[in-house]
Amino acid sequence: MQKNWKEKNVDLESLITHIGNFFKVKDFEAVKGKIQNGYQIFAGDSPYFKINGYVSVTVTGKPDDFVIDFKLCTEDKKGRSLHTSPLLESMFIGGYFLKKRLKAEEECLKLEKEFWKHAENAALQLSNSATNSVH
């Protein structure tokens, strides 16, 4: 999911720091870096959120017109998608795998909801924080 902010004049470096702090507080292992037109964070392995995969967050654009993109990346070790048929999953070990996948999806929805609350508050707090220099 992605959201766009316009006319907020937000310092994007400060915003990505706030977003990185969100993942730190949730005990994720996170890596932050600069990309061509913004910033990106990869976060995974949280003891509080049992998600299958990792989260990718990108912040791109300019201080007065930027986009935050939140994605859950789910792949097994061989690079295949983890999504399989619910019927097939329910046939193995009494639905253990289906239950585990549904729980991970629920955790991801919970994480995403908390993330957007934090991101919106950070963008609001950082309104008019960008300097007038060209980015």
The pLDDT profile of the chain, 135 residues, written as one tens digit per residue, is 999 999 999 999 999 999 999 999 999 999 999 999 999 999 998 888 888 889 999 999 999 999 999 998 875 544 444 455 555 555 556 666 667 777 778 888 999 999 999 999 999 999 999 986 444
Residue 1 half-sphere exposure toward CB, CA atoms < 13 A: 9
DSSP E strands in the chain: the ranges are: 2-6, 29-35, 38-44, 54-62, 65-73
Phi, psi (rounded to 5 degrees) for 118:
-65, -45
pLDDT at residue number 79: 43
Nearest to 58 by CA among 73, 72, 71, 44: 71
